[in-house]
Amino acid sequence: MPVIFWLVPFSAILALLFAFYFFKQMMGKDEGTDLMKKIAQHVRDGASAYLRQQYKIVILVFLLITGLLSLMAYGLGVQNPWVPFAFLTGGAFSGLAGFFGMKAATFASGRVANACRTSLDRGLRLAFRSGAVMGLVVVGLVLVDISAWFIILNQFIDVGAMDEKYKLMIITAIMLTFGMGASTQALFARVGGGIYTKAADVGADLVGKIEEGIPEDDPRNPATIADNVGDNVGDVAGMGADLFESFCASILATALLGAAAFMHYGVDIQTNAVIAPMLIAAVGTLLSIAGVFLVRTKEGATQKQLLKSLGFGVNFSAALIVVFSLLILYFLDIPNYLGIWGAIVIGLLAGIGIGQSTEYFTASAYRPTRRIAESSKTGHATVIISGIGTGLISAAVPLLIIVVAITIAFSFATGFDFAIANLNYGLYGIGIAAVGLLSTLGITLSTDAYGPIADNAGGNAEMCGLGEEVRSRTDALDALGNTTAATGKGFAIGSAALTALALLASYFEEIRMMFVEFLDRPDEKINGIAAIDAHFMDFVHHFQVHLMNPHVIVGIFLGVMSVFLFSGMTMNAVGRAAQKMVNEVRRQLKSMPGIMKGETEPDYARCVEISTKGAQREMIIPSLVAIFIPVIVGLIFGVAGVAGLLIGVISSGFALAIFMANAGGAWDNAKKYIEAGNLGGKGSDAHNASITGDTVGDPFKDTSGPSLNILIKLMVMASVVTVGVAVSFSILGVSI
């Protein structure tokens, strides 16, 4: 094991220590008045109750999937015996990341509201550092998980009489599969949390704002606590699990591609290519810690100034990772290190570009969102039309960015030599571009987790009747949070596209491992060459993965179908849960007239219970669809069908996810723009129309849209883990 590898576990431990430091620092702040403490406790209790119930269901699903993986490993002999255990650890660490982040967020919101009683800068710094708990816990646990498994498997994997270069292929192939555990947990967290938060949000808005004309987060609204709880379980726990999985998958897929691309350069170079993405992630984590300390602002800052304050910390970390990644690759002596470094830079630039594009199309400071706000003057329908049109147009820029990033990263990593023999180097370049995009995840996720903390702080201030000056500060932080959340979703979806492509390439390396390790047939002829020495394209030819094969076309259509089916199911799930919430809020306001007079406290717990049960019931089927469709397609159409399926899912899922996330974010900020006193302000006809747009956009941006990027990676990961089914038992495809 190279000495430099130990930087990975060191960075992991340091990230977790700083996360603990920021948490203790936040807990040392005053939570405010007794009423502020009471409201914050309501939110904490609701969030904890939801997660306890969700984890009970997730544990049952994990036990079922672990049983199936055990059957594949110990019964059918088409999977490595380590995989069931690795699957469990991936899910457990992903769940822990979401849990710790949510705990920090629920303890922080009241304290941020109280800090805003003093100054905007104190509120911003406390909210951001509380969000950093989530960011640093996620990257810390990912690096702990990866480094621990790498050390363990290096000790216990024995390749026997085979060449030592195949050991790293086997290790990285095993490690890649435990990403499925993280993906599965992430999808449950995202879908369940998204349904919960949007059912509460829609119910609170439709009855509270439109029917009763009371402000957002008014304590008289029975759904307001459930709404605040939802911000934490959806946008904190859900996002944390989501990006845990992206970070993990990008590193592991790139490690496997590195083992394959450099296996003929000797074990030392091959090892360096495998640990390179781990080291870049580790250094990016250290730079993220430094960047967190640079975020601060002045009193009375505008939205652009607040965005600049957050951007300074993020850009500082991104600029330095460019320098340090070059030094890492040079030190590791990887062939064409300048080209591979260029791929990393392209990944970083792609992330920045997607973030800037998202900010432009969703922030109220720019024309697209203001145009949506202006359309509210002519009614509800024009708001919807304008928002959908803006969302569709907004998808073009990220798609072009990803196209350019893939092309340039591939070209750099091959040294602009596009011979088939260099294909693996190009694929490694695409994978390491994804690592580059996510390398400073510690701070970029902090900006995203900051959003719901600021939102909850504003809710706490509203419910406690704090002064107008305090509310203006929390409103400024909240509006900033909407933009950072939208940017974070765009960032997550962009990373999913590059990561999924790296995983797709890894799928064929897993096929190689099927022959070498599980089937014990390394000399099986693949396109006339022994499987153990076969090239990526040899497997493509052997399994007839080309556009003239109808199984590939069928797979593409099934992939597109899966994306739209999943989106429709999650949208309808929000609708059904929201209907129950609307009926409950109406019932309480009608049966308890003292609520509107401020004489009777609403039954907040009942609304929390409705959202919790609705989310648990509705999240199961969409999540299982994502897991089992790749297995069924592989069983029927084989490797060619699965390849087509994944192409369809990646291409359509990425575009639809960007559209939904940006349309929802733009609708939300158009409403905020009007509430700031523009176009008639709160209570005007334009405001009511914008609320309709915001309500329609809620499941777009917080449920279906962000869940799609997990769907993409989970379906690829499920295909990788169950590759043995497609290779060995295909009914219509090429099988052995």
Residues 189-219: tens digit of each pLDDT:
888 888 888 888 888 878 877 788 887 678 8
Output the six-digit token pair for 589.
């306001």
Q: What is the pLDDT of residues 119-147, one digit of tens each?
A: 887 888 888 888 889 889 999 999 999 99
294-303 contacts at long range (C-beta below 8 A, 24 or more positions apart): 295/124, 295/125, 295/128, 296/121, 296/124, 296/125, 297/120, 297/121, 297/124, 298/120, 298/121, 299/119, 299/120, 299/121, 300/120, 301/120, 301/476, 303/363, 303/364, 303/365, 303/476, 303/479, 303/480, 303/483
What pLDDT, on a 0 to 100 scale, did the predictor assign at position 486?
60
Sign of CA dihedral 199, 202, 203, 204: positive
- What is the average pLDDT value for the chain, to the nearest integer? 86
Q: What is the mean pLDDT of residues 670-695?
A: 89
- 520: confidence class by pLDDT, cuts 50, 70, 90: low
Structure confidence at residue 80 (pLDDT): 77
**pLDDT of 38 over the 60 cut:** yes
Is 736 among the domain residues? no
Question: Is residue 385 a part of any domain in this protein?
Answer: yes
Which pTM was predicted?
A: 0.87
- Shortest CA distance to 713 belongs to which of 626, 622, 624, 633? 626
pLDDT at 231 over 80: no
- Does residue 521 fall inside a structural domain? yes
Q: Is the pLDDT of residue 660 over 80?
A: yes
Chain segment 164-191, per-residue pLDDT in tens: 777 888 888 888 877 888 888 888 888 8
Residue 2 maps to a domain = no
Burial of 412 (0-12, 13-18, 19+ CB in 10 A): buried
**Weakest-pLDDT range from 324-333, 521-530, 655-664, 720-729:** 521-530
Contacts of 164 (CB under 8 A, 6+ apart): 267
Alpha carbon distance 35, 163 (integer Å) = 68
> How many domains, in total, are found in the chain?
1
The pLDDT, as a whole number, for residue 409 is 94
Does some domain include residue 328?
yes
pLDDT tens profile 39-89: 888 888 888 888 888 888 889 889 998 998 888 888 877 777 888 888 888
Task: Report which listed range, 70-74, 324-328, 570-574, 596-600, is most confident.
Answer: 324-328
Beta-ladder partners of 529: 526
Give residue 153's domain range. 8-728
- Assess if residue 391 is contained within a domain: yes
Separation of alpha carbons 635 and 345, rounded Å:
40
Determine, yes or no, domain membership for 1.
no
- Per-residue tokens: 601: 């406290």
Q: Which is more confidently placed, 472 or 96?
A: 96
Q: What is the pLDDT, as a whole number, of residue 254? A: 92
Q: Are 512 and 481 within 8 A, CB to CB? A: no
447 lies in a domain? yes
